[in-house]
Chains A and B, each alone.
Chain A
Amino acid sequence: DAGITQSPRHKVTETGTPVTLRCHQTENHRYMYWYRQDPGHGLRLIHYSYGVKDTDKGEVSDGYSVSRSKTEDFLLTLESATSSQTSVYFCAISESGQGYEQYFGPGTRLTVT
């Protein structure tokens, strides 16, 4: 299995509070991604990174920000959590280049009450 960990694995928070999810990899892969998984939607890309300090928006980026100060860490921040952000969040990594498969972390289940 690819060396990807996510923390926390479960979190319950209140509406309006900031939340940061962490993805850590030991594979030294260049690309990192954050997805959210919701029933009936599969996985949707939130943000991705193609190198340290290089990030871009995905399909559902509103309300989320990311940072990548080191190759191994990719942080996802919800500045002010809303109930619509209740979801399961997955981090993924891939090597450089087109067509490389992505390897997924175990996920973080976030509940916003």
Chain B
Amino acid sequence: AQSVTQLGSHVSVSEGALVLLRCNYSSSVPPYLFWYVQYPNQGLQLLLKYTTGATLVKGINGFEAEFKKSETSFHLTKPSAHMSDAAEYFCAVIFSGGYNKLIFGAGTRLAVHP
């Protein structure tokens, strides 16, 4: 079955430290890949996406992600965490033939402490 795995349901970093949120998907065919962020009591906001082309994708708020086909991964990074980055982050995938249907990972809650 097609699936999306986010390693670590909770990640805690210090302000100014590197943020690394992991996402792996189950498919040998390159899918469409997305990262969304959800702040408390709000809907989901698109951070970035990969469809085709350059495998390093830059998004909003200083985040970026790299598509690695050989590792079936799409990890999200930010060089320096800010307190305002505290939120829940979701990796989502549209698999080939998926008719634009997003499959979500379970989410990673990011905490940023001073």
A and B: interacting chains: yes
Residues of A within 8 A of B (CB): 31, 33, 40-45, 48, 50, 58, 90, 92, 94, 97-107
- Residue pair B44, A101 in contact (C-beta under 8 Å): no
How many chain B residues sit at the interface, stated as a range, is 20 to 34
The reply to whether the CB of B82 lies closer than 8 angstroms to some CB of chain A is no
- Residue pair B106, A40 in contact (C-beta under 8 Å): yes
- Residue pair A99, B51 in contact (C-beta under 8 Å): yes
Closest to B91 in A: A42
Residues of B within 8 A of A (CB): 4, 6, 9, 32, 34, 36, 42-46, 49, 51, 90, 92, 94, 99-107
Q: List 9 A-B contacts (CB under 8 A).
A: A42-B106, A43-B92, A43-B102, A92-B44, A98-B32, A101-B34, A101-B46, A104-B36, A105-B43
Contacts of A100 in B (CB 8 A): 100
Partner of B32 from the list A58, A99, A107 (CB cut-off 8 Å) is: A99
